[in-house]
Amino acid sequence: MSAKESIHGSWSSGWAFMLAATGSAVGLGNIWKFPYITGQNGGAAFVMVYLLCVLLIGIPVMIAEITLGRRGRQSPMNTMYTLAIESGHSPLWKYLGFMGVFAGFIILSYYSVIAGWAVYYMILSSMSEFTGITAAGANAKFGNFTQDPVYLLFFHTIFMLMTMYVVSLGVRSGLEKATKFMMPALFVILLILDGYAMNTNSFDKGVGFLFQPDFSKLTWSVVLTAMGHAFFTLSLGMGAIMVYGSYMPKRASIAKASFVIAIADVLVALLAGIAIFPVVFANGLEPSSGPGLLFITLPLAFGHMPWGALFGTLFFILVTFAAWTSSISLLEPAVTWLVENHRFKRIKATFVAGLIIWVLGIFTVFSFNKWAFKFTLIGKTYENGFFNIFDILTANIMLPLGGMLIAIFAGWYMSQQASRDELEVKEWMYMTWRFLVRYISPFAILIVFLNVIGVIKL
Ligand code: TRP
């Protein structure tokens, strides 16, 4: 093993890195979260801001995060520490890594509960439970399920065990292979769903909702949610992609990988939106109905199409897989750190971190039933207590903040020679990236933050 390889192993090729990182990016964020927050934030104007954020902030920050990871070759804390020292700056940068681990714990704690819903829906579909279902029926099914904390806890436990199983094996076993067949299959089944949506009487309305912006609906809080989602969906700002980058072979191209990952990720989200909104409008459902949107609308589609039970089962299997390849990347930074700094065996590190996350998940389990309190924040009302608090704290605050610091570090603190050496792209591309991470991404994030809290008014 060369000195510049991670002690945790590495991907078999640049292609394997791309698959794993795409697996991390594509997940519940694209299929479940993107449609429901688009519905809550008024549709196309939100979508446009999200796309702009992916382009101007997401891709440059992704390139920065992978670059730091490959240069440091360790857990995010130790990578930040090493790189800061190497370039003559404060070791305090390592706390960026800790913030990431903390964010990852909170995200995974609720992510796992929602992934558990997909597991349950896979079972329902395989028992033909959706055949001929009505909108009211689909609503009631979802309502009854989420009212019951015992069910939610059970499926949350199953999903956490699945995540811990793969992480304890290490990044290479299983993970690479899973993504290889999952991605194409997910694409195909989303296209089938889009075909169904095309045959509803509300296709134009659904697609218009996604793509015809009404910019009067934009508020700074909507902009923040769109920006936060760009980070969430690309797995940025908490060290997940940094750790994956640390396993990346030296010869693979960081810039090319980042574009491919971002394009695949956006495509899956848009295909999911196109599948869902026509069905929402055709059945008189509310686009702003919240986290249940996917689980209420798609049973209607599967319940009324030929081979619906089969396609439905396949779809929820694929959603579970997509969530699985994402959840492992949320746990990985903490595990690498426990192995490096506390000499834990990988399996023990996974168990300890996983247990803490599992316990945290209980807050989300109760957010949909016993503790479903409402609260209002900057003009928006949220109905699902802790779940919403966890989501806002991470997606809207910690990830953009983490991303801003990553951009600042890569653009201002890391030596040009180091980043040039990792990126190895044409001069104009390097200069464009450097300009974006130095000036555009951090300031854009800062401006959105300041406007939301009302310090400045644009
Ligand atoms: N990107 C994944 C999704 O869209 C979720 C995810 C995985 C994530 N790793 C992350 C989000 C790291 C933020 C940070 O479902």
Q: Of 11-25, 165-179, 338-352, which has the strongest mean pLDDT?
A: 338-352
193 Cβ closer than 6 Å to some ligand 1 atom: no
69 Cβ closer than 6 Å to some ligand 1 atom: no
Residue 326 CA, closest ligand 1 atom number: 7
CATH tag, 14-452: 1.20.1740.10
Region 417-431 average pLDDT? 95
What is the pLDDT, as a whole number, of residue 173? Answer: 67
What is the pLDDT, as a whole number, of residue 182? Answer: 80
Torsion, Cα 54 60 61 66, to 10 degrees, reads 120
Q: 284 versus 8: which is more confidently predicted?
A: 284
pLDDT band at 175 (very low <50, low <70, confident <90, very high): low
CA distances from 323 to 81, 180, 329, 390 (A): 30, 15, 10, 18
Pocket probe mutation, ligand 1, options 117, 318, 329, max atoms within 8 Å of Cβ = 329
- pLDDT tens-place string over residues 91-103: 999 999 999 999 9
What is the pLDDT, as a whole number, of residue 169? Answer: 87
All structural domains of the chain with their residue ranges: 14-452
Give the whole-number percent of the chain exceeding pLDDT 70.
Answer: 97
233 Cβ closer than 6 Å to some ligand 1 atom: yes
What one-character DSSP code corresponds to residue 5?
S
Give the whole-number percent of the chain exceeding pLDDT 90.
Answer: 88
329 Cβ closer than 6 Å to some ligand 1 atom: yes
Region 368-392 average pLDDT? 94
What is the pLDDT, as a whole number, of residue 181? Answer: 77
Q: Which two tokens stand for residue 444?
A: 């854009």
Q: With a cut of 50, say whether residue 1 has pLDDT above it.
A: no
Q: What angle do CA 350, 356, 362 make, to 5 degrees?
A: 130
What is the pLDDT, as a whole number, of residue 2? Answer: 41
Nearest C-alpha neighbor of 69 from the set 244, 307, 250: 244
Q: Is the dihedral of CA 271, 274, 280, 283 positive or negative?
A: negative
pTM for the predicted model, two decimal places: 0.96
Of the listed ranges 22-26, 170-174, 391-395, the least confidently predicted one is 170-174
What is the pLDDT, as a whole number, of residue 174? Answer: 59
What one-character DSSP code corresponds to residue 426?
-
**CA atoms within 13 A of residue 350's CA, in its CB half-sphere:** 19
Q: Which two tokens stand for residue 185?
A: 């299959």
Q: Give the Å distance between the CA of 410 and the centre of ligand 1.
A: 21
3-state DSSP percent of the chain in helix, strand and coil, to 5: 75, 0, 20
| Spatial distance between the Cα atoms of 275 and 186, rounded to a whole number of angstroms | 13
| Spatial distance between the Cα atoms of 322 and 358, rounded to a whole number of angstroms | 19
235 Cβ closer than 6 Å to some ligand 1 atom: yes
